[in-house]
Structure 1
Amino acid sequence: MAEHQTVGEAIRAAAERLGATSDTARLDAEVLMAHALAASRSDLLLRHMRDPAPDGFAALADRRAAQEPVAYITGTQEFFGLPFSVDARVLIPRGDSEVLVETALGERPGARRVLDCGTGSGALLLTVLANLAEATGVGIDASAGALAVAAANAQALGLAERARMVAADWRLPDWTGGVDGPFDLILANPPYVEDDADLAPSVRSYEPASALFAGPAGLDDYRILIPRLPALLAADGLALVEIGHTQADAVAALGAAAGMASRLVHDLGGRPRVVVFSC
Protein backbone atom coordinates (compact mmCIF):
# COMPACT_ATOMS: atom_id res chain seq x y z
CA MET A 1 0.00 0.00 0.00
CA ALA A 2 1.22 3.47 -0.80
CA GLU A 3 2.63 5.41 2.11
CA HIS A 4 0.50 8.47 1.34
CA GLN A 5 -2.80 6.59 1.69
CA THR A 6 -5.24 7.72 4.32
CA VAL A 7 -6.88 5.23 6.64
CA GLY A 8 -10.08 5.43 4.61
CA GLU A 9 -8.28 4.84 1.32
CA ALA A 10 -6.33 1.92 2.75
CA ILE A 11 -9.53 0.34 4.05
CA ARG A 12 -11.24 0.68 0.67
CA ALA A 13 -8.27 -0.84 -1.15
CA ALA A 14 -8.00 -3.72 1.32
CA ALA A 15 -11.74 -4.41 1.17
CA GLU A 16 -11.59 -4.63 -2.62
CA ARG A 17 -8.71 -7.06 -2.39
CA LEU A 18 -10.27 -9.17 0.36
CA GLY A 19 -13.54 -9.45 -1.56
CA ALA A 20 -12.02 -12.32 -3.54
CA THR A 21 -11.85 -14.55 -0.44
CA SER A 22 -14.13 -13.04 2.22
CA ASP A 23 -17.87 -12.42 2.40
CA THR A 24 -17.21 -9.73 5.01
CA ALA A 25 -14.36 -7.94 3.28
CA ARG A 26 -15.20 -4.38 4.36
CA LEU A 27 -15.79 -5.41 7.96
CA ASP A 28 -12.55 -7.40 7.96
CA ALA A 29 -10.61 -4.40 6.70
CA GLU A 30 -12.15 -2.09 9.29
CA VAL A 31 -11.48 -4.49 12.19
CA LEU A 32 -7.88 -4.98 11.09
CA MET A 33 -7.35 -1.25 10.71
CA ALA A 34 -8.80 -0.61 14.16
CA HIS A 35 -6.39 -3.22 15.52
CA ALA A 36 -3.46 -1.59 13.74
CA LEU A 37 -4.42 1.77 15.25
CA ALA A 38 -5.12 0.29 18.72
CA ALA A 39 -8.54 1.95 18.47
CA SER A 40 -12.11 0.74 18.65
CA ARG A 41 -13.93 0.31 15.36
CA SER A 42 -16.33 3.12 16.25
CA ASP A 43 -13.41 5.47 17.01
CA LEU A 44 -11.81 4.44 13.73
CA LEU A 45 -14.90 5.37 11.75
CA LEU A 46 -15.54 8.60 13.64
CA ARG A 47 -12.07 10.01 14.14
CA HIS A 48 -9.36 8.35 12.06
CA MET A 49 -10.54 7.92 8.47
CA ARG A 50 -8.44 10.86 7.20
CA ASP A 51 -5.34 10.01 9.21
CA PRO A 52 -2.30 8.46 7.49
CA ALA A 53 -2.62 4.69 7.24
CA PRO A 54 -0.33 2.95 9.77
CA ASP A 55 2.62 0.97 8.45
CA GLY A 56 1.49 -2.29 10.05
CA PHE A 57 -1.87 -2.48 8.30
CA ALA A 58 -0.55 -3.88 5.02
CA ALA A 59 0.88 -6.96 6.76
CA LEU A 60 -2.41 -7.59 8.54
CA ALA A 61 -4.31 -7.37 5.26
CA ASP A 62 -1.83 -9.79 3.68
CA ARG A 63 -2.54 -12.33 6.41
CA ARG A 64 -6.28 -12.00 5.89
CA ALA A 65 -5.84 -12.32 2.12
CA ALA A 66 -4.20 -15.69 2.84
CA GLN A 67 -7.48 -16.55 4.66
CA GLU A 68 -6.14 -16.48 8.18
CA PRO A 69 -9.14 -15.75 10.44
CA VAL A 70 -9.47 -12.17 11.63
CA ALA A 71 -9.73 -13.35 15.25
CA TYR A 72 -6.31 -15.00 15.06
CA ILE A 73 -4.79 -11.90 13.48
CA THR A 74 -6.16 -9.58 16.16
CA GLY A 75 -5.86 -12.18 18.92
CA THR A 76 -9.36 -11.60 20.24
CA GLN A 77 -12.97 -12.64 19.69
CA GLU A 78 -16.10 -11.36 21.39
CA PHE A 79 -18.50 -13.99 22.73
CA PHE A 80 -21.71 -13.22 24.61
CA GLY A 81 -20.47 -9.66 25.08
CA LEU A 82 -17.15 -10.71 26.62
CA PRO A 83 -13.66 -10.44 25.06
CA PHE A 84 -11.71 -13.68 24.69
CA SER A 85 -8.09 -14.01 23.69
CA VAL A 86 -7.70 -16.63 20.96
CA ASP A 87 -4.89 -18.07 18.88
CA ALA A 88 -4.27 -21.13 16.74
CA ARG A 89 -4.30 -23.39 19.82
CA VAL A 90 -8.09 -23.00 20.19
CA LEU A 91 -11.20 -22.84 18.08
CA ILE A 92 -12.64 -19.38 17.57
CA PRO A 93 -15.86 -19.04 19.60
CA ARG A 94 -18.89 -18.74 17.30
CA GLY A 95 -22.09 -16.81 17.83
CA ASP A 96 -24.04 -20.02 17.17
CA SER A 97 -22.70 -21.41 20.45
CA GLU A 98 -24.30 -18.57 22.41
CA VAL A 99 -27.59 -20.51 22.34
CA LEU A 100 -25.94 -23.12 24.57
CA VAL A 101 -25.04 -20.44 27.11
CA GLU A 102 -28.49 -18.85 26.93
CA THR A 103 -30.13 -22.23 27.49
CA ALA A 104 -27.86 -23.09 30.43
CA LEU A 105 -28.52 -19.77 32.15
CA GLY A 106 -32.25 -19.97 31.51
CA GLU A 107 -32.64 -23.57 32.64
CA ARG A 108 -30.34 -23.59 35.67
CA PRO A 109 -29.92 -20.03 37.00
CA GLY A 110 -29.12 -21.45 40.43
CA ALA A 111 -26.35 -23.78 39.27
CA ARG A 112 -23.39 -23.85 41.63
CA ARG A 113 -21.03 -26.32 39.92
CA VAL A 114 -20.28 -26.30 36.19
CA LEU A 115 -18.17 -28.62 34.03
CA ASP A 116 -17.05 -27.69 30.52
CA CYS A 117 -15.87 -30.62 28.42
CA GLY A 118 -13.41 -29.49 25.77
CA THR A 119 -13.09 -25.98 27.11
CA GLY A 120 -10.78 -24.57 24.42
CA SER A 121 -10.61 -20.81 24.97
CA GLY A 122 -12.87 -21.21 28.00
CA ALA A 123 -15.63 -19.26 26.30
CA LEU A 124 -18.56 -21.44 27.38
CA LEU A 125 -17.45 -22.02 30.97
CA LEU A 126 -16.28 -18.48 31.66
CA THR A 127 -19.36 -16.87 30.12
CA VAL A 128 -21.63 -19.01 32.29
CA LEU A 129 -19.58 -18.24 35.41
CA ALA A 130 -19.62 -14.52 34.58
CA ASN A 131 -23.42 -14.68 34.67
CA LEU A 132 -23.74 -16.98 37.73
CA ALA A 133 -22.03 -15.11 40.55
CA GLU A 134 -22.22 -18.01 43.03
CA ALA A 135 -21.00 -20.74 40.67
CA THR A 136 -17.61 -22.37 40.33
CA GLY A 137 -16.46 -24.44 37.39
CA VAL A 138 -13.98 -26.86 35.88
CA GLY A 139 -12.83 -26.74 32.29
CA ILE A 140 -11.20 -29.84 30.86
CA ASP A 141 -9.21 -30.19 27.65
CA ALA A 142 -6.70 -32.62 26.22
CA SER A 143 -4.62 -29.74 24.84
CA ALA A 144 -2.12 -28.06 27.15
CA GLY A 145 -2.09 -25.10 24.79
CA ALA A 146 -5.85 -24.70 25.00
CA LEU A 147 -5.75 -24.91 28.79
CA ALA A 148 -3.15 -22.12 28.85
CA VAL A 149 -5.41 -19.90 26.72
CA ALA A 150 -8.43 -20.69 28.91
CA ALA A 151 -6.50 -19.95 32.10
CA ALA A 152 -5.33 -16.62 30.70
CA ASN A 153 -8.90 -15.72 29.77
CA ALA A 154 -10.11 -16.64 33.24
CA GLN A 155 -7.48 -14.35 34.73
CA ALA A 156 -8.32 -11.48 32.36
CA LEU A 157 -12.04 -11.75 33.14
CA GLY A 158 -11.51 -11.86 36.89
CA LEU A 159 -12.73 -15.44 37.14
CA ALA A 160 -9.51 -17.30 37.96
CA GLU A 161 -10.61 -17.99 41.55
CA ARG A 162 -13.84 -19.64 40.37
CA ALA A 163 -12.57 -21.53 37.30
CA ARG A 164 -10.15 -24.46 37.43
CA MET A 165 -8.61 -25.75 34.19
CA VAL A 166 -7.74 -29.47 34.19
CA ALA A 167 -5.89 -31.64 31.67
CA ALA A 168 -8.19 -34.53 30.74
CA ASP A 169 -8.69 -36.53 27.55
CA TRP A 170 -11.98 -38.42 27.36
CA ARG A 171 -10.44 -40.74 24.76
CA LEU A 172 -8.30 -42.23 27.54
CA PRO A 173 -9.44 -44.60 30.33
CA ASP A 174 -10.31 -43.07 33.70
CA TRP A 175 -10.25 -39.51 32.37
CA THR A 176 -12.80 -38.47 35.01
CA GLY A 177 -10.37 -39.24 37.82
CA GLY A 178 -9.34 -35.59 38.18
CA VAL A 179 -12.86 -34.26 37.78
CA ASP A 180 -14.88 -34.27 40.98
CA GLY A 181 -18.62 -34.41 40.34
CA PRO A 182 -21.46 -34.09 40.57
CA PHE A 183 -22.21 -30.98 38.48
CA ASP A 184 -25.39 -28.96 38.11
CA LEU A 185 -24.45 -28.04 34.55
CA ILE A 186 -22.25 -29.84 32.06
CA LEU A 187 -21.39 -27.95 28.89
CA ALA A 188 -19.79 -29.60 25.87
CA ASN A 189 -18.83 -28.48 22.40
CA PRO A 190 -16.81 -31.53 21.34
CA PRO A 191 -15.35 -32.12 17.88
CA TYR A 192 -18.25 -33.01 15.58
CA VAL A 193 -17.13 -32.33 12.01
CA GLU A 194 -17.01 -35.22 9.55
CA ASP A 195 -13.46 -36.04 8.45
CA ASP A 196 -14.21 -35.27 4.79
CA ALA A 197 -16.37 -32.19 5.40
CA ASP A 198 -16.02 -29.34 2.92
CA LEU A 199 -14.76 -26.58 5.21
CA ALA A 200 -13.70 -23.07 4.35
CA PRO A 201 -9.91 -22.74 4.01
CA SER A 202 -9.90 -20.27 6.92
CA VAL A 203 -11.18 -23.11 9.12
CA ARG A 204 -9.46 -26.18 7.70
CA SER A 205 -6.04 -24.54 7.30
CA TYR A 206 -5.90 -22.54 10.52
CA GLU A 207 -8.11 -23.88 13.31
CA PRO A 208 -6.93 -26.94 15.31
CA ALA A 209 -7.98 -30.18 13.63
CA SER A 210 -8.14 -31.99 16.97
CA ALA A 211 -10.99 -29.70 18.02
CA LEU A 212 -12.87 -30.08 14.74
CA PHE A 213 -12.86 -33.61 13.34
CA ALA A 214 -14.55 -36.66 14.86
CA GLY A 215 -14.58 -39.52 12.39
CA PRO A 216 -16.55 -40.29 9.22
CA ALA A 217 -19.91 -39.19 10.67
CA GLY A 218 -18.57 -36.66 13.17
CA LEU A 219 -19.88 -38.79 16.04
CA ASP A 220 -16.75 -40.42 17.47
CA ASP A 221 -16.37 -38.10 20.44
CA TYR A 222 -20.08 -38.15 21.29
CA ARG A 223 -19.92 -41.95 21.46
CA ILE A 224 -17.19 -41.73 24.10
CA LEU A 225 -18.33 -38.68 26.06
CA ILE A 226 -22.10 -39.05 26.33
CA PRO A 227 -22.18 -42.42 28.16
CA ARG A 228 -20.01 -40.87 30.91
CA LEU A 229 -22.28 -37.89 31.55
CA PRO A 230 -24.83 -39.53 33.91
CA ALA A 231 -22.13 -40.31 36.47
CA LEU A 232 -21.02 -36.67 36.45
CA LEU A 233 -24.47 -35.06 36.69
CA ALA A 234 -26.21 -34.02 39.88
CA ALA A 235 -29.68 -35.51 40.36
CA ASP A 236 -31.39 -32.48 38.82
CA GLY A 237 -28.47 -31.49 36.63
CA LEU A 238 -28.45 -30.83 32.91
CA ALA A 239 -25.87 -31.59 30.24
CA LEU A 240 -25.92 -29.34 27.18
CA VAL A 241 -24.11 -30.68 24.13
CA GLU A 242 -23.59 -28.71 20.94
CA ILE A 243 -24.18 -30.64 17.71
CA GLY A 244 -23.91 -30.37 13.96
CA HIS A 245 -27.23 -29.69 12.25
CA THR A 246 -27.62 -33.28 10.97
CA GLN A 247 -26.68 -35.03 14.21
CA ALA A 248 -29.65 -34.47 16.52
CA ASP A 249 -31.20 -37.93 16.23
CA ALA A 250 -27.90 -39.80 16.55
CA VAL A 251 -26.80 -37.80 19.59
CA ALA A 252 -30.19 -38.13 21.28
CA ALA A 253 -30.04 -41.90 20.71
CA LEU A 254 -26.64 -42.06 22.40
CA GLY A 255 -28.13 -40.26 25.41
CA ALA A 256 -31.13 -42.58 25.51
CA ALA A 257 -28.81 -45.61 25.50
CA ALA A 258 -27.08 -44.06 28.53
CA GLY A 259 -30.42 -43.65 30.34
CA MET A 260 -30.93 -39.94 29.72
CA ALA A 261 -33.91 -38.01 28.42
CA SER A 262 -33.24 -35.29 25.87
CA ARG A 263 -34.72 -32.33 24.10
CA LEU A 264 -33.48 -30.23 21.21
CA VAL A 265 -32.75 -26.50 21.09
CA HIS A 266 -32.43 -24.63 17.79
CA ASP A 267 -30.23 -21.64 17.02
CA LEU A 268 -31.42 -18.30 15.64
CA GLY A 269 -31.19 -19.69 12.12
CA GLY A 270 -33.62 -22.48 13.02
CA ARG A 271 -30.95 -25.18 12.87
CA PRO A 272 -30.65 -27.91 15.52
CA ARG A 273 -27.83 -26.70 17.74
CA VAL A 274 -27.94 -28.09 21.31
CA VAL A 275 -29.18 -31.34 22.84
CA VAL A 276 -30.16 -30.95 26.49
CA PHE A 277 -29.78 -34.17 28.52
CA SER A 278 -31.21 -34.97 31.95
CA CYS A 279 -31.16 -38.14 34.02
Structure 2
Amino acid sequence: MSVNIGEGGIPDALRAATVQLAVASDTPRLDAELLMAHALTLSRNDLLLRQRDLSVPPGFAALLDRRLAGEPVAYITGFRDFWTISLAVTPHVLIPRPDSETLIEAAVAHFAGRAPQAILDLGTGSGALLLAALSEWPDANGLGIDASSGALAVAQGNAERLGLADRATFQSGDWAQGVDGQFDLILINPPYIARSVTLAGDVLHEPDSALFAGVEGLDDYRRIAPDLPRLIAPGGMAAIEIGYDQKVAVSALLVDAGLAVRALQDLAGHDRCLVATWPQRDGTA
Protein backbone atom coordinates (compact mmCIF):
# COMPACT_ATOMS: atom_id res chain seq x y z
CA MET A 1 0.00 0.00 0.00
CA SER A 2 1.03 3.60 -0.45
CA VAL A 3 0.71 6.09 2.39
CA ASN A 4 -0.19 9.75 2.14
CA ILE A 5 2.26 11.98 3.99
CA GLY A 6 0.93 15.26 2.68
CA GLU A 7 2.48 18.10 0.71
CA GLY A 8 4.04 20.11 3.58
CA GLY A 9 7.42 19.91 5.22
CA ILE A 10 8.74 17.51 7.82
CA PRO A 11 6.52 18.70 10.74
CA ASP A 12 3.41 18.11 8.60
CA ALA A 13 4.72 14.77 7.35
CA LEU A 14 5.41 13.60 10.90
CA ARG A 15 1.91 14.57 11.99
CA ALA A 16 0.33 12.75 9.06
CA ALA A 17 2.51 9.69 9.58
CA THR A 18 1.66 9.61 13.29
CA VAL A 19 -2.05 9.46 12.51
CA GLN A 20 -1.56 6.61 10.04
CA LEU A 21 0.81 4.65 12.28
CA ALA A 22 -1.64 4.74 15.19
CA VAL A 23 -3.39 1.71 13.69
CA ALA A 24 -0.15 -0.32 13.68
CA SER A 25 1.85 0.91 16.67
CA ASP A 26 1.54 1.85 20.33
CA THR A 27 4.21 4.52 19.76
CA PRO A 28 3.22 6.10 16.45
CA ARG A 29 4.94 9.46 16.92
CA LEU A 30 8.21 7.88 18.01
CA ASP A 31 8.05 5.44 15.10
CA ALA A 32 7.47 8.28 12.64
CA GLU A 33 10.42 10.25 14.00
CA LEU A 34 12.77 7.26 13.94
CA LEU A 35 11.82 6.38 10.38
CA MET A 36 12.18 9.97 9.22
CA ALA A 37 15.58 10.25 10.89
CA HIS A 38 16.66 6.99 9.24
CA ALA A 39 15.51 8.20 5.83
CA LEU A 40 17.54 11.38 6.33
CA THR A 41 20.55 9.47 7.78
CA LEU A 42 20.36 11.65 10.88
CA SER A 43 19.99 10.91 14.56
CA ARG A 44 16.52 11.47 15.98
CA ASN A 45 17.84 14.38 18.05
CA ASP A 46 19.29 16.03 14.94
CA LEU A 47 16.00 15.55 13.14
CA LEU A 48 14.02 17.21 15.91
CA LEU A 49 16.41 20.15 16.06
CA ARG A 50 16.52 20.70 12.30
CA GLN A 51 13.11 19.51 11.12
CA ARG A 52 11.90 22.93 9.92
CA ASP A 53 14.98 23.37 7.73
CA LEU A 54 14.82 19.95 6.04
CA SER A 55 12.74 18.41 3.27
CA VAL A 56 10.92 15.09 3.39
CA PRO A 57 13.22 12.51 1.73
CA PRO A 58 11.86 10.36 -1.13
CA GLY A 59 12.37 7.11 0.79
CA PHE A 60 10.22 8.03 3.78
CA ALA A 61 6.92 6.80 2.30
CA ALA A 62 8.40 3.34 1.59
CA LEU A 63 9.60 3.06 5.18
CA LEU A 64 6.12 3.93 6.40
CA ASP A 65 4.66 1.24 4.14
CA ARG A 66 6.90 -1.33 5.80
CA ARG A 67 5.93 -0.23 9.29
CA LEU A 68 2.22 -0.21 8.43
CA ALA A 69 2.66 -3.79 7.19
CA GLY A 70 3.82 -4.69 10.71
CA GLU A 71 7.60 -4.80 10.30
CA PRO A 72 9.31 -3.61 13.51
CA VAL A 73 11.05 -0.23 13.37
CA ALA A 74 14.29 -1.80 14.60
CA TYR A 75 14.39 -4.20 11.66
CA ILE A 76 13.61 -1.37 9.23
CA THR A 77 16.33 0.94 10.54
CA GLY A 78 18.69 -1.89 11.48
CA PHE A 79 19.46 -0.48 14.94
CA ARG A 80 18.07 -0.34 18.46
CA ASP A 81 19.34 1.57 21.49
CA PHE A 82 19.86 -0.48 24.67
CA TRP A 83 21.28 0.74 27.98
CA THR A 84 24.07 3.12 26.91
CA ILE A 85 24.85 1.52 23.54
CA SER A 86 23.29 1.24 20.08
CA LEU A 87 23.05 -2.22 18.57
CA ALA A 88 22.63 -3.47 15.04
CA VAL A 89 19.70 -5.88 14.82
CA THR A 90 18.40 -8.20 12.12
CA PRO A 91 15.57 -10.76 11.96
CA HIS A 92 18.12 -13.31 13.25
CA VAL A 93 17.84 -11.80 16.76
CA LEU A 94 15.30 -10.54 19.23
CA ILE A 95 14.93 -6.78 19.36
CA PRO A 96 16.48 -5.56 22.65
CA ARG A 97 13.81 -4.06 24.93
CA PRO A 98 13.89 -1.74 27.94
CA ASP A 99 12.50 -4.57 30.13
CA SER A 100 15.79 -6.42 29.70
CA GLU A 101 17.72 -3.46 31.07
CA THR A 102 16.40 -4.61 34.47
CA LEU A 103 19.11 -7.31 34.35
CA ILE A 104 21.85 -4.72 33.92
CA GLU A 105 20.35 -2.59 36.68
CA ALA A 106 20.42 -5.63 38.97
CA ALA A 107 24.08 -6.23 38.16
CA VAL A 108 25.03 -2.59 38.75
CA ALA A 109 23.37 -2.73 42.18
CA HIS A 110 25.02 -6.05 43.08
CA PHE A 111 28.51 -4.90 42.12
CA ALA A 112 28.30 -1.43 43.67
CA GLY A 113 31.80 -0.41 44.70
CA ARG A 114 33.46 -3.25 42.78
CA ALA A 115 33.38 -4.71 39.31
CA PRO A 116 32.84 -8.15 37.81
CA GLN A 117 35.82 -9.49 35.92
CA ALA A 118 34.33 -12.46 34.07
CA ILE A 119 30.87 -12.25 32.47
CA LEU A 120 28.82 -14.98 30.78
CA ASP A 121 25.82 -14.27 28.56
CA LEU A 122 23.70 -17.33 27.80
CA GLY A 123 21.53 -16.86 24.72
CA THR A 124 23.39 -13.72 23.72
CA GLY A 125 21.36 -12.90 20.58
CA SER A 126 22.46 -9.44 19.40
CA GLY A 127 24.98 -9.35 22.26
CA ALA A 128 22.87 -6.71 24.01
CA LEU A 129 23.32 -7.82 27.61
CA LEU A 130 26.98 -8.78 27.35
CA LEU A 131 28.02 -5.66 25.45
CA ALA A 132 26.02 -3.39 27.77
CA ALA A 133 27.82 -4.99 30.73
CA LEU A 134 31.24 -4.67 29.10
CA SER A 135 30.54 -1.01 28.37
CA GLU A 136 29.66 -0.56 32.05
CA TRP A 137 32.81 -2.29 33.37
CA PRO A 138 35.84 -1.51 31.17
CA ASP A 139 38.11 -4.07 32.85
CA ALA A 140 35.73 -7.00 32.42
CA ASN A 141 35.84 -9.73 29.78
CA GLY A 142 32.89 -11.74 28.57
CA LEU A 143 31.70 -14.84 26.78
CA GLY A 144 28.46 -14.93 24.79
CA ILE A 145 26.81 -18.24 23.88
CA ASP A 146 24.08 -18.78 21.30
CA ALA A 147 22.81 -21.69 19.23
CA SER A 148 22.12 -19.46 16.20
CA SER A 149 24.96 -18.76 13.80
CA GLY A 150 23.03 -15.77 12.48
CA ALA A 151 22.74 -14.31 15.96
CA LEU A 152 26.43 -14.87 16.67
CA ALA A 153 27.35 -12.97 13.50
CA VAL A 154 25.19 -10.02 14.61
CA ALA A 155 26.71 -10.08 18.11
CA GLN A 156 30.28 -10.20 16.77
CA GLY A 157 29.55 -7.31 14.44
CA ASN A 158 28.16 -5.27 17.31
CA ALA A 159 31.21 -5.97 19.45
CA GLU A 160 33.51 -4.81 16.65
CA ARG A 161 31.48 -1.68 15.92
CA LEU A 162 31.42 -0.73 19.61
CA GLY A 163 35.15 -1.32 20.07
CA LEU A 164 34.55 -4.22 22.47
CA ALA A 165 35.73 -7.15 20.33
CA ASP A 166 38.97 -7.50 22.29
CA ARG A 167 36.98 -8.21 25.46
CA ALA A 168 34.04 -10.18 24.05
CA THR A 169 34.17 -13.75 22.77
CA PHE A 170 31.19 -15.37 21.07
CA GLN A 171 30.75 -19.05 20.43
CA SER A 172 28.10 -21.52 19.38
CA GLY A 173 26.63 -23.57 22.19
CA ASP A 174 23.65 -25.21 23.82
CA TRP A 175 23.15 -23.04 26.91
CA ALA A 176 25.89 -23.90 29.43
CA GLN A 177 26.79 -27.30 27.98
CA GLY A 178 30.58 -27.44 27.75
CA VAL A 179 31.13 -24.04 29.38
CA ASP A 180 33.90 -24.32 31.97
CA GLY A 181 35.07 -22.05 34.75
CA GLN A 182 33.26 -19.59 36.99
CA PHE A 183 31.85 -16.17 36.24
CA ASP A 184 31.20 -13.19 38.46
CA LEU A 185 28.15 -12.18 36.43
CA ILE A 186 25.88 -14.41 34.38
CA LEU A 187 23.22 -12.80 32.20
CA ILE A 188 20.39 -14.93 30.82
CA ASN A 189 17.42 -14.01 28.65
CA PRO A 190 16.06 -17.35 27.40
CA PRO A 191 12.88 -18.06 25.45
CA TYR A 192 10.00 -18.09 27.95
CA ILE A 193 6.71 -17.90 26.05
CA ALA A 194 4.37 -20.90 26.25
CA ARG A 195 3.74 -22.48 22.86
CA SER A 196 -0.03 -21.97 23.18
CA VAL A 197 0.23 -18.17 23.52
CA THR A 198 -1.01 -16.16 20.55
CA LEU A 199 1.40 -13.38 19.68
CA ALA A 200 0.73 -10.01 18.10
CA GLY A 201 2.71 -6.95 17.04
CA ASP A 202 6.47 -6.83 16.54
CA VAL A 203 7.13 -10.29 17.98
CA LEU A 204 5.41 -11.86 14.96
CA HIS A 205 8.55 -10.92 13.01
CA GLU A 206 11.07 -12.17 15.59
CA PRO A 207 12.63 -15.67 15.54
CA ASP A 208 10.42 -18.36 17.10
CA SER A 209 13.48 -20.11 18.52
CA ALA A 210 14.16 -17.07 20.72
CA LEU A 211 10.57 -16.79 21.94
CA PHE A 212 8.94 -20.15 22.65
CA ALA A 213 9.94 -22.65 25.34
CA GLY A 214 7.52 -25.55 25.44
CA VAL A 215 4.06 -25.99 26.87
CA GLU A 216 4.64 -23.85 29.97
CA GLY A 217 7.43 -21.61 28.70
CA LEU A 218 9.79 -23.21 31.21
CA ASP A 219 11.74 -25.75 29.14
CA ASP A 220 14.95 -23.70 28.90
CA TYR A 221 14.92 -22.63 32.55
CA ARG A 222 14.80 -26.31 33.49
CA ARG A 223 17.94 -26.92 31.46
CA ILE A 224 19.81 -23.83 32.63
CA ALA A 225 19.16 -23.89 36.39
CA PRO A 226 21.15 -27.06 37.27
CA ASP A 227 24.33 -25.64 35.68
CA LEU A 228 24.30 -22.30 37.50
CA PRO A 229 25.80 -23.43 40.84
CA ARG A 230 29.02 -24.56 39.14
CA LEU A 231 29.21 -21.38 37.06
CA ILE A 232 28.55 -18.63 39.62
CA ALA A 233 31.77 -17.50 41.28
CA PRO A 234 31.79 -16.76 45.02
CA GLY A 235 30.24 -13.34 45.51
CA GLY A 236 28.83 -13.45 42.00
CA MET A 237 25.29 -13.54 40.67
CA ALA A 238 23.09 -14.60 37.80
CA ALA A 239 20.46 -12.20 36.44
CA ILE A 240 17.70 -14.11 34.67
CA GLU A 241 14.85 -12.57 32.70
CA ILE A 242 11.40 -14.08 33.26
CA GLY A 243 7.87 -13.61 32.01
CA TYR A 244 5.59 -11.49 34.19
CA ASP A 245 3.86 -14.59 35.67
CA GLN A 246 6.86 -16.93 36.04
CA LYS A 247 8.43 -15.74 39.30
CA VAL A 248 7.22 -18.66 41.43
CA ALA A 249 7.93 -21.42 38.93
CA VAL A 250 11.43 -20.27 37.93
CA SER A 251 12.39 -19.36 41.50
CA ALA A 252 11.55 -22.93 42.54
CA LEU A 253 13.91 -24.31 39.89
CA LEU A 254 16.74 -22.09 41.14
CA VAL A 255 16.12 -22.87 44.81
CA ASP A 256 16.08 -26.59 44.00
CA ALA A 257 19.55 -26.06 42.48
CA GLY A 258 20.73 -24.65 45.82
CA LEU A 259 20.66 -20.94 45.05
CA ALA A 260 19.12 -17.99 46.87
CA VAL A 261 16.68 -15.98 44.75
CA ARG A 262 15.08 -12.56 44.78
CA ALA A 263 12.92 -10.84 42.20
CA LEU A 264 13.17 -7.37 40.69
CA GLN A 265 10.47 -5.49 38.82
CA ASP A 266 10.68 -3.67 35.50
CA LEU A 267 9.45 -0.10 34.94
CA ALA A 268 5.89 -1.36 34.50
CA GLY A 269 5.99 -3.03 37.91
CA HIS A 270 6.09 -6.59 36.55
CA ASP A 271 8.41 -9.24 37.97
CA ARG A 272 11.09 -9.29 35.27
CA CYS A 273 14.45 -10.36 36.70
CA LEU A 274 15.45 -13.07 39.15
CA VAL A 275 18.79 -12.57 40.89
CA ALA A 276 20.35 -15.90 41.84
CA THR A 277 23.27 -15.99 44.28
CA TRP A 278 24.95 -18.37 46.66
CA PRO A 279 23.11 -18.41 50.05
CA GLN A 280 24.93 -16.87 52.96
CA ARG A 281 25.66 -19.05 55.95
CA ASP A 282 22.68 -17.61 57.80
CA GLY A 283 20.47 -18.68 54.91
CA THR A 284 19.92 -15.22 53.45
CA ALA A 285 20.70 -14.20 49.90
Q: TM-score range by the shorter chain?
A: over 0.9
Looking at structure 2, the residues matched to 5 and 124 of structure 1 have their Cα atoms a distance apart, in angstroms, of 42
Extract unaligned runs of 5+ from structure 2.
279-285
- 1:111: which partner in 2? 116
SS state of the match for residue 86, structure 2?
strand
Are residues 1:221 and 2:220 paired? Answer: yes
Q: Which moved more, 1:61-70 or 1:189-198?
A: 189-198
> 1:196-235 residue pairs with structure 2 within 5 A?
196-204=196-204, 206-235=205-234
1:4 Cα offset (Å): 4.9
Which range moves more in the overlay, 144-153 or 34-43? 34-43
Task: Write the deviation string for residues 185-214 of structure 1: whole angstroms up to 9, x where unpaired.
Answer: 11100000111223223212x111100111
Question: 1:192 corresponds to which residue?
Answer: 192
Alpha-carbon shift at residue 39 of structure 1 (Å)? 1.3
Unaligned runs of 5+ in 1: none
| 8 Å Cα contact 2:6/2:13 also seen in 1 | no
**Where does residue 281 of structure 2 map in the other structure?**
none
Choose the corresponding residue for 1:121, options 120, 126, 150.
126
Structure 1 contact 4–52 (Cα < 8 Å) conserved: no
- Structure 1 residue 29 corresponds to structure 2 residue 32: yes
Residue 261 of structure 1 aligns with which residue? 260
Q: Does 1:12 align with 2:11?
A: no
Q: Is the 8 A contact 1:3 1:53 kept in 2?
A: no
Is the 8 Å Cα contact of residues 8 and 50 (structure 1) preserved in structure 2? no
Take 1:32 and 1:157, find their aligned partners in 2: how far apart are those partners?
A: 23
RMSD: 1.5
Instruction: Count how many residue pairs are aligned between Structure 1 and Structure 2.
Output: 273
Q: Give CA-to-partner distance per residue, 1:97-156, whole Å, 9 cap, x none.
A: 111101112212421100000000111011111111111000000000101111111111
Counterpart pick for 2:168 among 140, 163, 187:
163
The match for 2:139 is 134
Q: Match of 2:130, as an amino acid?
A: L
Aligned twin of 1:83:
86
- The answer to whether the Cα contact below 8 Å between 2:182 and 2:233 also exists between their aligned partners in 1 is yes
- Identity among equivalent positions (%) equals 53
- CA drift of 1:3 comes to 8.7
